[in-house]
Amino acid sequence: MIGNLYCEGKLYTQDVIKVKDHDFVSYSDGKVVPHGIYDINLNRGYMTLGVSSDTSEFACESIHKWWVDYGKTEYPNSNEILILCDGGGSNSSRHYIFKEDLQKLSNKLNIEIRIAHYPPYTSKYNPIEHRLFPHITKACQGIIFKNIDIVNNLMKSTTTIKGLTVISSILNKSFEIGRKVADDFKENMTIQFDDFLPDWNYVAVPYVN
């Protein structure tokens, strides 16, 4: 949350910093919803900082932003995007609302998007969990998030001696919570489920009229 609220960690300061020790929503001035993408090949993180809710639409909007701004330039000959995801949260393997938003994204970008979910209790093996997020967490320790620009700059400043760099941006857009899947989505979707572990592995194929 944004505001004069306690953030765990230590840092050097010239004066004592007084903050509220409980992060109640009523004490905050807003919130930051982070979404991260980690490019294994380039050792580069892409953080999108939302101001609304952590929804499947927000996750897909972040992927769209990454592809349009960076992905299609870095990989101009690609005909498919591979995304390693956790099994829950905004990109839940169990909820069809994520699949519906993913299908819309595939249609919009006109490219196949392959999803490989990590099964429950195995997300720690996802490269983003130990190559990006811990370093971002370390960069933010002890800093008071008085506004979202501070958070954005902290993300951008995250580096490691092994060459990690981070690109960060703010997405000022509201996302509706509690959305329901369209009644005819399952009948008309072009998502193809793998024969092996289909609940966790599938491809969103662009719809062709």
Q: How confident is the model at residue 65 (pLDDT cuts 50, 70, 90)?
A: very high
Highest mean pLDDT range out of 19-28, 99-108, 139-148?
99-108
Strands across the sheet containing 165-171 = 33-39, 44-50, 165-171
- Are the C-beta atoms of 28 and 1 separated by less than 8 Å? yes
Cα–Cα distance for residue pair 204/195, rounded to 1 Å:
15
**Using CA atoms, how far apart are residues 184 and 72, in angstroms rounded to an integer?**
31
Tell me: pLDDT of 18 over 90.
no
Domain ranges of the chain: 25-173+184-204
Token pair recorded at residue 122: 């195995």
Per-residue pLDDT of 1-16, as tens digits, reads: 888 877 888 777 777 7
The number of angstroms, rounded, from the C-alpha of 173 to the middle of its chain's C-alpha atoms is 15
